[in-house]
Structure 1
Amino acid sequence: MEEVDGVNVPLTPAGRLFVQPKMNQIINFVLGVKNPINIDAVKSEIRSSIMLQHPRFYSLLVVDSNGREFWRRTQVNVDRHLIIRHEPLTDEPSVSDEDAVNDFLADLSVSSPLSTDKPLWEIHLLMAHNCGVFRVHHALGDGISLMSMFLSCCRRSDDPSQVPTVGGVGTSSSSYGRRERWNLGRVIKLVWYTLVFVMEFVMRSLWLKDKRTAVSGGDGVELWPRKLATAKFGIDDMKTVKNAVGHATLNDVLFGLVSCGLSKYLDIQSAKAQEGLQITGLAMVNLRPQPGLQEFSKLLSNKMGTRFGNQFGMILLPVYYHKSGADPLQFVRRAKAMIDKKKQSLEALFSYKIGDFVMSYFGPKLACLLNYRIVCNTTFTISNVIGPREEITIVGNPVTYMRVNSTSLPHAITVHMMSYAGKADMQILVAKDIIPEPHLLAKCFEDALSEMKEVAQAATK
């Protein structure tokens, strides 16, 4: 980042979008540890971390008289960014530790903006729950950048001299970005699928919207109170399902179980759901030349075409309601067929470029309006980021779980998946007046994978 006039650095177009009131987004990354937290060790790690080598983490967000946003460098006082809570989040003995932390995160998602009189990040240490919540504004970077930065501060539990390796469910782009050898047929498919998906994307931003269901959100729903539940999956179980569906990926399994889980939930909550009803989601796709996580040093130095910040597009992800009783693997097959077409298009790149163009030439108000309408006209958001393949430590403390969610959107459902050491935790953030029992929705997702696994195992016998 180069300074402008020796003082200010303008925000990127994506950064400007994420600071608009209706699209203001904060990422909440929660990390559980095995042993009590050493506050002095945490402060020391922050002060010496590679994070504070990046200008965005020691810059203030300022707005000039013309409404243009800039980064202005400042001094970081770590104590101001560290919020320590010693008492438990709840006195109710019937509330589990996990539910207490999830309730805390749900409240943060709608009612706790980051103060602009300091750089846009902070860390909450919940001492009674042995966990920390790293809150960082989306304008600073996306999930890939921030996870790469976090892992640079960690070490493997089995070999403290080594940094973690990544693997698991994979990012939405881990298979999206791969291209096979070009031929005339692939060129024709590229052009056709791009035209079809881009046209739908444009229509979604203008008037086309999903039919109302028991899980629909809409304009203003981002301000409604939230609840948060966690669905837990085993990577090996997902691989079992993947292997039962020819040439499938773990992302195909993920989107298939989301489709199956939503169908199960609608079966319970609504008797009027129509067979084949489309429920459209927004999926985030990493657009970096090397899909997945990169070393943080490469992101800082912009080596090999990678860079820190927000570099992702969106794809529309249609899933369909089907009544219970059907072969659960069919949900994965349908997801695979749809995602295979998405891989052969430039939909994600188009969404990134058109957003960049509108922001640059027409300003943040129109760019924010178009993005907001796309969210209002779809039903859910889904993203997933790979975590470490093996167990890790942070400041010498073993990590027990890693989860992520973000500020609420007009969607009534926002789903974030993160893998860690053979497990995958899905954070399901819901508008509680629309979906009052998120734990039921989480169970529907878990049951979907269990049923898929049973069918997959039976098919191999």
Structure 2
Amino acid sequence: MGALLSCLQSAQNPSVPLTFPSLKSSGPKTTHKTKTVSQFFSSVFQTVSDFSWSILKSNFVEDDRTPIRSGEDGVEFRPITLSTLTFSIDEIKLIKNKLGVTINDVIAGIIFLGTRIYMQEVTQKSSSERCTALVLLRTRNIEGYTPIKEMIEPNNAKMSWGNQFAFLHLPVPKSTEISNPLDFVWEAQQMIKKKRSSAASYLTSWLLDILKKFRGPEGAARYIHGTLKNSSMTISNMIGPVEKMALDNQPVGGFYFMVVGPPQCLTVTALSYMGKLRVAFGAEKGFIDSQKLKASMQNAFGAILEASNPIPPANAA
């Protein structure tokens, strides 16, 4: 995707590079420059716990069978149905500012709530099965997308071809009664914040490098395959340009990306572009009802937006 975006130009001025949102956090900055002893040991414990659980989850512990996970072999060879939804970035930022969370927290909360709504509608009962989302993280040490000219330069240590990523296991919050949509955003925030305090993602990336070095690409691929197979869904998101772009002077009205061929029944991707967030769903055809899933995600977004911005009473001052 980085290579693709580096081939595109601004529709208004092809000589000007595309503009991307800042990757810097907009949240309040902490004034503490050093960690306390308790924080250090807490971070170490969290790292060991997360990394150990990641290894167990990748090799031994499978998710339960649910309306989004059949648990059968050969899922990666079955046809999928692609569908997309578009949300307003401004409305997502409105939720973010009201709740004091990040955009990623809001997106995760919407996907988690929509998933539980779908599962509950399909089974006609509260869904509390073990359901894990595998969140992919880019580990490239870059702040943007490198032009193709730089990528093909020999001996360019800053940019190498191929995917470089790690992953986090995030359990989809259980819900016996979906009554407070904001709980899904809060739980997503707590989980993501907790995972960020550990170095498990870096250790996972290091483990994949070790497997690739000693067992070859096939060994690393088998480990990733097992990781995907034991979880229920994959979530991957990217930051896109803020202005309209063009390919060979042809304006691009919208686009999305999809990870195809994983041993999972459901893959979710999100990509921002021109003030819109386009969420795409790759669902196993004949097993997941894509239209019902889309409706569940749309209802989840509406419920979270309404709950975060309650309408005041008509007689309020």
Compute the TM-score of the two structures, normalised by the length of structure 2: 0.87
Matched letter for residue 448 of structure 1: A
The residue number in structure 2 matching 1:391 is: 244
Between structure 1 and structure 2, the one with the greater Rg is: 1
Q: CA deviation at 1:358?
A: 1.7
SS at match of 1:409: coil
Counterparts of 1:77-226 in structure 2 under 5 Å?
146-147=1-2, 149-167=3-21, 181-184=33-36, 185-218=38-71, 219-226=73-80
Does the 8 Å CA contact 2:120/2:127 hold for their aligned counterparts?
no
Counterpart Cα distance in 1 of 2:83 and 2:193: 30
The residue number in structure 2 matching 1:360 is: 213
Q: Which moved more, 1:391-400 or 1:193-202?
A: 391-400
The residue number in structure 2 matching 1:452 is: 304
Does the 8 Å CA contact 2:119/2:127 hold for their aligned counterparts?
no
Q: CA deviation at 1:181?
A: 3.7
Is 1:261–2:87 an aligned residue pair? no
Instruction: Give the number of the structure whose residues are more often strand, by fraction.
Output: 1
Within the candidate set 222, 229, 233, 1:380 is matched to 233
SS at match of 1:278: coil
Within the candidate set 235, 244, 248, 2:98 is matched to 244
- Structure 1's 373 and 273: CA in aligned 2 closer, same or farther, altered over 3 A? farther
Matched letter for residue 287 of structure 2: I
Matched letter for residue 417 of structure 1: A
Q: Which runs of 5+ in 1 are unaligned?
A: 1-145
SS at match of 1:327: coil
Does the 8 Å CA contact 1:292/1:386 hold for their aligned counterparts?
no
Q: Which runs of 5+ in 2 are unaligned?
A: none
Matched letter for residue 57 of structure 2: R
CA RMSD of aligned residues (A): 2.8
Q: CA deviation at 1:183?
A: 1.5
Counterparts of 1:59-74 in structure 2 under 5 Å?
none
The residue number in structure 2 matching 1:39 is: none
- Structure 1's 365 and 394: CA in aligned 2 closer, same or farther, altered over 3 A? closer
Q: Percent identity?
A: 28
Matched letter for residue 251 of structure 1: N
The residue number in structure 1 matching 2:82 is: 228
- Structure 1's 306 and 317: CA in aligned 2 closer, same or farther, altered over 3 A? farther
Q: CA deviation at 1:296?
A: 5.1
Q: CA deviation at 1:230?
A: 0.8
Is 1:322–2:175 an aligned residue pair? yes
Deviations 1:184-231 (A, max 9, x none): 344223211110111111111221111111111432111112111112
Number of aligned positions between the proteins? 307
Does the 8 Å CA contact 1:263/1:323 hold for their aligned counterparts?
no
Bigger relative CO (Cα 8 Å, ≥ 6 apart): 2
Q: CA deviation at 1:295?
A: 5.2
The residue number in structure 2 matching 1:99 is: none
Is 1:286–2:138 an aligned residue pair? yes
